[in-house]
């Protein structure tokens, strides 16, 4: 068998026309005969590229509004025939079937067609591609003789390889494109299955605009491996990092690493916690994460001031931490950060001088991520034999939504401190108690089984850092079940508290706030983070 057959005949039929003209021009320049259908054929012909309609090959017109056009033995036989089997070659001769050596196909945009809330079932059904996936799968199955391209990004790769390989692609390339093609059709079928199994209250009438359940009966995930990791959470565990097929632009998975050692499993997990927190702030902000919890969060006039305030919260825990900024990082900020031991620094961008500063510490990993607040559709938590699925915790409480329940009213400064503290508490593991003042965390108590213990730990950490909690604001991610937790934070110096409320003993806790002459406000929103 010839492992690298010269490409002499290609079939191009794409929904996404990006780059198809350039591909066709490159193929035509090499003397490749081009077959095509519908809009693709029309586009190529208009641009002066010789193209043969598939219908002229099959001897059968496109029918049923284009539902049937490539589903024909002269197409699929040309794709599926094994070049190393004489019986297949004889069948091609007998039936006048010409070999098709390259197939460039991408599918009807089902995801886009079904993205809105008012999608008619008929429109969804008509955007289910049949001939396209059939050609993609046939080509991918026969990759020993056929090159299949489903992504415009691969057009140049193929034509460049043809140019250096006597008009052929290598078996290695065809095999990798085949795997990509099967992943492409799997994701496509998964999207269709998710849509159809989410329908409710419909008998399948094509004229319906069916209601859809937020959680389909079949939920397919497609993740693409970014890299193998040296190990997982612990050295005896193996691990890999995968990216979602449609990860939002501003998600951690879309990072660009500028320098430093390979990211570890724990680096990535902690970096995600840092990035998700810091990008919620409007002012220049810095978040320092250690073991998935913020050990310092602050806003400032610029990134340098934000970093200095965040680091002051807990210098001990910041050692070997993950630092994230929501603004461009300058030389001055880089010089301050570089004085400490840090694992990862994240920002939307770094200037040349900042990168020069960090270059002296080659082990420090620098990550650039686009600053975008777009979020994924679902959050997932793996359990034994299953998956918990929920929407992301994107609830932002505004001051106007908050109810003052104490006799004492908040001052303007207290409002600012309370709102800052509430935003920070959302990213601290439950049970969370966070002391804040003047745009910085003063003490963070995280992940305790008792809210009272979290309160005690937060005040102890503030004392250890030499910070005074006098007139500070405290945020609790969930309600105080008893007044004891409230007494701990007031004894430590808090003058105002923000919490969701909703306890059977709310009145007891509110009365305690009045007794201690502090401000208490209720958000009505809980932020558990497990």
Report the catalytic residues: 141, 291
Q: How far apart are CA 60 and CA 77, in angstroms?
A: 15
The single residue listed with the structure tokens 């799997």 is: 186
SS3 string of 427-461?
CCCCCCEEEEECCEEEEEECCCCCHHHHHHHHHHH
Residue with tokens 């701990």: 488
Rounded CA gap, 238 and 211, in Å?
43
Element (H, E) at 189: helix 171-197
Element (H, E) at 311: helix 303-313
Which two tokens mark 236?
Answer: 């005896």
DSSP sequence for 140-165: HHTTTT-EEE-SGGGHHHHHHHHHHT
Residues in the chain: 530
Q: Show contacts of 382-386: CB within 8 Å, 24+ apart.
A: none
Count Cβ atoms within 10 A of the Cβ of residue 330 and give its class: 0-12 exposed, 13-18 middle, 19 or more buried.
middle
Q: What Rg, from alpha-carbon coordinates, does the chain have?
A: 30
Residue 505 neighbours by CB under 8 Å, 6+ apart: 480, 481, 482, 483
């Amino acid at each position: 068998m010839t492992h690298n057959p010269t490409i002499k005949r290609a079939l191009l039929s794409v929904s996404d026309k990006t780059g198809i003209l350039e591909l066709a021009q490159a193929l035509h320049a090499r003397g490749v005969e081009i077959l095509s259908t519908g809009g693709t054929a029309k586009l190529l012909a208009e641009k002066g590229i010789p193209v043969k309609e598939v219908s002229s090959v099959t001897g059968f017109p496109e029918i049923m509004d284009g539902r049937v056009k490539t589903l024909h033995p002269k197409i699929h036989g040309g794709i599926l025939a094994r070049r190393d089997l004489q019986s297949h070659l004889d069948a091609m001769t007998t039936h006048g079937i010409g070999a098709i050596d390259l197939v460039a196909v991408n599918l009807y945009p089902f995801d886009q067609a079904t993205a809105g809330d008012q999608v008619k079932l008929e429109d969804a059904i008509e955007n289910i591609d049949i001939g396209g996936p059939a050609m993609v799968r046939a080509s991918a199955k026969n990759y020993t003789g056929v090159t299949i391209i489903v992504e415009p990004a691969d057009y140049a790769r193929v034509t460049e390889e043809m140019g250096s390989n006597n008009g052929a692609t290598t078996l290695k390339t065809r095999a990798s494109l085949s795997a990509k093609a099967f992943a492409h059709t799997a994701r496509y079928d998964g999207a269709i299955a998710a849509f159809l199994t989410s329908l409710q209250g419909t008998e399948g009438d094509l004229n319906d605009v069916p209601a859809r359940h937020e959680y389909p009966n079949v939920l397919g995930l497609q993740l693409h491996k970014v890299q193998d990791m040296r190990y997982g959470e612990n050295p005896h565990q193996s691990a890999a990092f995968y990216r979602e097929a449609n990860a939002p632009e501003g998600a951690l998975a879309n990072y660009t690493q500028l320098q430093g050692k390979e990211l570890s499993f724990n680096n990535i997990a902690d970096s995600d916690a840092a990035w998700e927190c810091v990008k919620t702030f409007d002012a220049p902000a810095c978040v320092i994460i250690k073991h998935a919890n913020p050990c310092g969060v602050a806003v400032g006039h610029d990134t340098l001031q934000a970093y200095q305030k965040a680091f002051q919260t807990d210098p001990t825990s910041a050692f070997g931490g993950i630092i994230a900024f929501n603004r461009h990082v300058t030389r001055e900020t880089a010089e301050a950060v570089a004085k400490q031991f840090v694992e990862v620094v994240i920002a939307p961008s770094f200037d040349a001088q900042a990168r020069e500063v960090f270059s002296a510490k080659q082990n420090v990993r620098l990550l650039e991520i686009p600053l975008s607040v777009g979020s994924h559709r679902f959050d997932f938590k793996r359990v034994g034999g299953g998956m918990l699925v929920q929407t992301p915790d994107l609830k932002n409480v505004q001051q106007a939504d908050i109810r003052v329940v104490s006799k004492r009213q908040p001052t303007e400064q207290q409002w600012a401190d309370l709102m800052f503290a509430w935003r920070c508490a959302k990213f601290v593991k439950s049970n969370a108690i966070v002391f804040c003042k003047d745009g910085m965390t003063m003490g963070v108590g995280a992940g305790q089984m008792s809210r009272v213990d979290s309160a005690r730990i937060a005040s102890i950490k503030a004392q250890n850092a030499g910070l005074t909690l006098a007139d500070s604001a405290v945020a609790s991610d969930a309600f105080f079940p008893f007044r004891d937790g409230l007494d701990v934070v007031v004894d430590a110096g808090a003058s105002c508290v923000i919490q969701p409320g909703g306890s059977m003993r709310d009145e007891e806790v509110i009365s305690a706030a009045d007794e201690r002459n502090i401000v208490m406000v209720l958000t009505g929103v809980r932020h558990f983070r497990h």
